[in-house]
Structure 1
């Protein structure tokens, strides 16, 4: 096994600097920290975690709390996979490990808190599953540093990170209207989730700003997944007045909508233009290329890691972060014009 001196010599730094990278990463220059971490991985150097834990009274582990019910396909959604990669990368750069928690304590209100204490976790990141059930509430109120993704949480050491869902949805409607579309429908996300509710809010607000009629039959509930988008688009195609554009509150739903449109013998964007939300990897690959509202997945991970480590270090809960979104124009709305991305 490689030693701390071998690692220091390889990186051209002192053993004390290597020690700080693993014990107090926040005081080390980010470039030096990255150099040491990459070299440590390459030569198989492992810091003495037991000694570090005893010295600091920390486990240097952050838990990820998310509904792991096998009936819910959230774990496979590509947007959340990108979020997890960003979170793991950001925490690793600060000397922390990410532990995914799967709790099954018979519905106990302290189920998540028991798991956190069992593993001696320093903090947790919560991913919104559309419910604010007793185990989540108990955890947030416990004083354990908690950062929630996509929903506000209440507790003495809590904060949250989200995207500009309202502004992103408004940008999608604005883009469609500027491309000459006048009958703009939406496939909404579940309103029990903050992204679903806010993206519907942004759609309705921009429709009103542009003087476009709001038709209840042009608002169909989806579930953020392919099959839900496909079924919702089928319903829109059966409407008395067929829309000439659709804003889907998630890319998977938008891709499902593209399949339904093609199955009906219609063309995108000639007959119906489509905009999604997320900018998952398949968005650029499906024909004719999906115009979408991109979220900053790496920014999610970095902001969440910074916030939870700040609280673990004894700092006050940082204010909530609302990350900007960006419209990415592709073929499903006609492709970018001059000056557009």
Structure 2
């Protein structure tokens, strides 16, 4: 007959549950109940046993505890394997990863990093990995929504929170910044500084944040009565080189823009480099506003005006939403959690003289 290990068995320590019971003068069952905060044990006995465990350096056997409780207290975090190498050079994504890790730690969860399966692996590999490790839920970070293995995961009963990733499933929730509203703030600000020819450098438009920021830009331009020639919308990839290339194209136009809203700070800094290469000054000849508020935004000269995302708020919202899904019965997708953005005005935008 198979047995389940005692959750308080020795775990690399010189002290096990039987030794604690002997020294406390109680049964091993009482020690187990005390360490698990069971109500059947008096407060005095519980305090005595816990003090002795601390004094002797006792550590519970966590794998066995997991088997008994049927909970792992572990959340998986999925970072698209196709973007991982570049993501490690993206300060915004690194900051978001840190915010998620902090929020999980504060909620007493462990974190396990997972990759999406490669082309040679089965579509079910990710779901199998989640179940094999007994993960309580999954947070997905900026992964393309058309990934088949993620669709299978979202369609299962595994609780999933996607940050900047569209999900549909019985136990899913999407968490994101208010991307469209943030883009509108940027355009409104540039308009108030006197700019009427405002171009944009988008992120990859198959990603929800990039598409939403473009929608906000277009909505603001329509509301303000600004013309948007097709050449004023150019796509980048959220990295500096693409912003510099896009800026070069925009500044070579016969009717070049006087302001650029870039959907990411690195692209905005790239556009500032393009202006310098063309002999133009920022903000004198060209105003620039980015999105994210990475550390470099305040360090470049002139300092970059930008739409700030609340990374800590995103991490906390993702963890809180996921905990709600873990504790709820699977019924229907939860309502999206939208985290507000704010405009940070610095030297790269100013009133036109």
TM-score (norm 2): 0.80
- Pick one of 323, 333, 339 that aligns with 2:349: 333
Change (3 A) 1:45 1:261: farther
Of the three residues 100, 108, 126, the one matched with 2:122 is 108
**Aligned partner of 2:141 among 127, 133, 154:** 127
Distance in structure 1 (CA, Å) of the matches to 2:340 and 2:218: 20
What does residue 59 of structure 1 align with? 72
Does 2:270 correspond to 1:253?
A: no
Mark the runs of 5 or more structure 2 residues left unpaired by the alignment: 1-12, 16-32, 39-53
> Relative to structure 1, is the Cα distance of residues 278 and 45 closer, same or farther in structure 2, using a 3 angstrom cutoff?
farther
Instruction: Tell me how far 1:296 sits from its aligned partner.
Output: 0.7
CA distance in structure 1 between the aligned counterparts of 2:261 and 2:135, rounded to whole angstroms: 41
Whether the aligned pair in 1 keeps the contact of 2:244 and 2:273 (CA below 8 Å) is: yes
> C-alpha distance in 2, partners of 1:290/1:18?
53
Counterpart contact for 1:68–1:75, Cα < 8 Å: no
How far does residue 155 in structure 1 lie from its aligned partner after superposition?
Answer: 1.0
How far 1:71 sits from its partner (Å)?
Answer: 7.7
Are 2:337 and 1:324 aligned? no
Larger radius of gyration: 2
Match of residue 215, structure 1, among 224, 229, 237: 229
The Cα offsets for residues 268-322 of structure 1, whole Å up to 9 and x where unpaired, read as 0000000000001110101110000001100111011111122223356642101
Stretches of structure 1 lacking an aligned partner (at least 5 in a row): 4-15, 24-39, 336-341
Aligned match for 1:75, one of 82, 88, 110: 88
Cα distance, 1:131 vs structure 2:
4.0
Distance 1:178 1:47 in 2: 62
Structure 1 Cα separation of the partners of residues 192 and 283 of structure 2: 14
Q: Relative to structure 1, is the Cα distance of residues 327 and 206 closer, same or farther in structure 2, using a 3 angstrom cutoff? A: same
Which sits farther off after the overlay, 283-292 or 97-106? 97-106
Aligned equivalent of 1:93, options 83, 98, 106: 106
RMSD, aligned CA: 2.6
2: distance between equivalents of 1:91 and 1:70? 23
Q: Quick one: which of 202, 205, 229 aligns to 1:188?
A: 202
- The answer to whether the 8 Å contact 1:184/1:243 transfers is yes
The equivalent of 1:9 in structure 2 is: none
The partner residue of 1:289 within 289, 297, 303 is 303
CA displacement 1:30-55 (0-9 Å, x = unmatched): xxxxxxxxxx9xxx996542343133
Please state whether the residue corresponding to 2:170 is helix, strand or coil: coil
In structure 2, the partner of 1:149 is: 163
Does the CA contact (< 8 Å) of 1:105 and 1:111 recur in 2?
no
| CA–CA distance in structure 1, aligned partners of residues 231 and 313 of structure 2 | 36
Once the two structures are TM-superposed, the CA of residue 226 in structure 1 deviates from its matched residue by: 0.7
1:166 and 2:180 aligned: yes
Alignment pair present for 1:225 and 2:225: no
Preserved contact between residue 140 and residue 165 of structure 2 (Cα < 8 Å): no
Question: Do the aligned residues in 2 keep the contact of 1:292 with 1:327 (CA within 8 Å)?
Answer: yes
1:210-236 per-residue CA deviation (whole Å, 9 max, x = no partner) reads 111111111111111111111110110
Q: Work out the number of aligned pairs and report it.
A: 303
Residues of 2 paired with 1:75 and 1:222: CA distance?
Answer: 18
